[in-house]
A and B are shown apart, each in its own frame.
Chain A
Amino acid sequence: MSRVDVTAVTKHFGTSKALDDVSITFDDGGFFALLGPSGSGKTTLLRTIAGFHFPDSGSIRIGEREVQRVPVEKRDIGMMFQNYALFPNMSVADNIGFGLRVRKVGAAEERRRVAEALELVQLGHLGQRRPSQLSGGQRQRVALARAIVTRPRVLLLDEPLSALDKTLRVDMQLELRRIQREVGITTIFVTHDQEEALTLSDRIGILKDGRIVQVGPPREVYERPVDAFAASFLGEANWLPPSRVAGLELPCRSGAGSFAVRPEALSVATVPAPGKNAIQGRMSQHVFAGAMATCLVDIDGSYWKVIARDRDIPQIAPGADVWLSWSAADTIAVPTPA
């Protein structure tokens, strides 16, 4: 297990800049999510740490070792691919044992560690199957077992859950987290699914256009985004029109120019809540979804979204005036984008 330091890494593909002066530290034993829209450079960053790309400039350290010029096979990493990339001509056990055989650990040791890895991912009985005989979730577990069986210094996951359906994905998220904790391996995880990033990781890095926008624990990034992009990309944000700012209690942050409120921080009522910020709008829609409900409220022509327990939202006819209230502390302040 090791920490990973990426320092001032820049990478071009032809004339396009895939990574632009990226510096980021992945703590030893941490679970780190790299989050960003497609083309943001998150996968390039992961593959550069893996060694599939060499950076044009900058350095990468895994533990104490400088690796920016070291080829993939010499970096001692474990990687899980989006399509799992299991070898179709090998059994599950041979897939998992591949890295051990390459390292020449010996047949007995290989058997023991493969069995251990299969046990860890709860597939103890499936060692002799072919990958084609497994379900999607099982293949995913095999891929994970294969990536960690060599006890690599860092585990790299490239959108590993995106091929699974929703229910299975949630199960696998918890499973992945359990296994990562059990093994204690430094893990870097690329995803475009913000919910997945929030659930799984203890730190999140948001990327855009090859640059790091913000790095921090999920709660911090969610509650205190550094700019409008981070605020909108991680979670949803209702933006306060400048004309409505007067009379509200807003955080004083140097350079702050735009304000937003998360949908779940809002409450809906026919009167403003005392001691809170409140703005008036017109009720547009109330969408019932079981325990929770979503309201759309028209504020000067743009819709604010409110997410709350259904019983906390009063029955108000569409078109009627309503007040949206929130605690001053829940206001998100970011610099106005240039």
Chain B
Amino acid sequence: MRRPLLPVLGRLWLALILVFLYAPIMVMAAMSFNASPFYQLPFSFSTRWYAEMAGNPQIITAALRSVSIALVVTLIATALGTAASIALFRYDFRGKKVLQLLLFPPIAIPWLITGTAMLIFFFAIGLGRGTPAVIIGHVALALPYVIVTVTARLSSFDITLEEAARSMGAGGWTVLRRVTLPWIAPGMVAGALFAFAVSFDQFVVSYFLSQPGDSTLPVLIYTAIRKGFTPEINAISTIIITVSMAIMFIATRYSRFGGER
């Protein structure tokens, strides 16, 4: 029996795409374990660059700062985004459609533009650069992701559950805590993971808004590369990629956009 050509071509095409996407990452990951500082082959396995990275206080400080900023951003964005989703779900008000539409362009607008706009705006209002500005900027970028995932989960929520809880004497807060939040929790977890990833991986906006000497990890990597490349960067990048991919994987597992649990 002749095998149809199209599926074979299709598979080949898919394989090429995956190679195209992941080959550079794989090379980088491999090189982070290569003992030679000049990418010389033959490959000889070493964890030297990881050790050097761990001994580099600049990298460690930046990494810790990135993680703390990402955690704060995650908390704020998840709380605000969840509240916004519930409001959009529960109430009808003038301009609701417009507001919902306005939530999406920030995902599409180039970060360079958003970053520039934020920088100008924060200087105009006297906030300037610094960690608070970075956090606000990241929250703004992360919010749409939280709203999208929580709204997707809410779309399968039965509003009569809230009515039933109220008929049994539960006030607004109890209804939220005991009925609504347990239902949207998976959407919130997914949104929180997205928010963390958006903040942790963010370069452009961080670069614009952070003060020199106060860099986040991506900003530090960028400046390090400009000064001269060391395989330490391979090591830290490999760690970041592994963590980011793990987060994205968990996030997509949790969100299952709009589906039943």
B183 at the interface (CB under 8 A from A): yes
Contact with A along B157-187 (1 / 0, CB 8 A): 0101101111111110010001100110000
> Are the CB atoms of B161 and A73 closer together than 8 Å?
no
Please indicate the chain B residues that have their CB under 8 angstroms from the CB of A73 in the complex: 166-171
* Complex contacts, B166 vs chain A, CB 8 Å: 71-73
Interface pair A85/B164, CB less than 8 Å apart: yes
Task: Identify the closest chain A residue to B175 (Cβ).
Answer: A73
Count of residues in A whose CB is under 8 Å from the partner chain? 25
Residues A34-67 near B (CB distance < 8 A): 50, 52
Question: Shortest Cβ distance from A77 into chain B, in angstroms?
Answer: 6
Residues of B close to A81: CB separation below 8 A:
160, 163-164
Question: How distant is A159 from chain B, measured CB to nearest CB, in Å?
Answer: 12
Contact: A83 with B182, CB < 8 Å? no
Q: Are B169 and A87 in contact (CB under 8 A)?
A: no
Q: A83 is contacted by which of B160, B165, B174 (Cβ under 8 Å)?
A: B160
A150 on interface, CB distance cutoff 8 Å: yes
Residue-by-residue, is A294-332 near B (CB-CB < 8 Å gives 1, otherwise 0)? Answer: 000000000000000000000000000000000000000
How many whole Å from B189's CB to the nearest CB in chain A? Answer: 15
Number of A-B contacts (CB under 8 A): 57
For the complex, what is the distance from the CA of A266 to the CA of B65, rounded to whole Å?
90
**In the complex, residue of chain A having the shortest beta-carbon distance to the beta carbon of B179:** A87
Q: Which residues of A contact B163 (CB under 8 A)?
A: 52, 72, 79, 81, 85
Is there contact, CB below 8 Å, between B161 and A99?
no
| Interface presence of A78 (CB below 8 A) | yes
Query: Given that A87-B179, A89-B182, A89-B183 are known contacts, is A102 also in contact with B160, CB under 8 Å in the complex?
Result: no
Contact yes or no, A98 B160, CB < 8 A: no
Contact with A along B182-223 (1 / 0, CB 8 A): 110000000000000000000000000000000000000000
Chain B contact residue count (CB 8 A cutoff): 17
B185 — nearest CB in chain A belongs to which residue?
Answer: A89
Given A98-B170, A102-B169, A102-B170: A79 and B182 interface contact (C-beta under 8 Å): no
Question: Which residue in chain A gives the minimum CB-CB distance to B174?
Answer: A102
In the complex the two chains form, is B168's CB within 8 Å of A99's CB?
Answer: yes
Contact of A85 among B160, B174, B178 (CB under 8 A): B160
A146 to B160, CA, bound (A): 14
Give the distance in Å from the alpha carbon of A146 to the alpha carbon of B179 in the complex.
Answer: 15
Given A83-B158, A85-B160, A89-B183, A98 and B165 contact (CB-CB distance below 8 Å): yes
Report yes or no: B169 in contact with A76, Cβ–Cβ below 8 A: yes
**A98 with B168, Cβ < 8 A, contacts A72-B163, A83-B160 known:** yes
Most A-side CB within 10 Å, residue of B158, B163, B182, B183: B163
Chain A residue nearest in CB terms to B167: A79
The complex places the Cα of A71 from the Cα of B163 at a distance, in Å, of: 11
Q: Does A166 contact B (CB under 8 A)?
A: no
Q: What B residues does A103 contact at CB under 8 A?
A: 169
| Chain A: CB-nearest residue to B168 | A99
Residues of B within 8 A of A52 (CB): 163
Cross-chain contact B169 with A99 (CB below 8 angstroms):
yes
Cβ of B165: which chain A residues have Cβ within 8 Å of it? 87, 98
A89 to B184, CA, bound (A): 11
* Residues of A216-258 whose CB lies within 8 A of B: none
For A76, A78, A87, A156, the residue with the greatest tally of chain B CB atoms inside 10 Å of its CB is A87
Q: What's the least CB distance linking B179 to chain A, in Å? A: 6
11 A-B contacts (beta carbon < 8 Å): A52-B163, A73-B168, A73-B170, A79-B163, A83-B158, A99-B170, A102-B168, A102-B174, A146-B164, A146-B168, A147-B167
- Listed in ascending order, the chain A residues whose CB lies under 8 Å from chain B are 50, 52, 71-74, 76-79, 81, 83, 85-89, 98-99, 102-103, 146-147, 150, 156
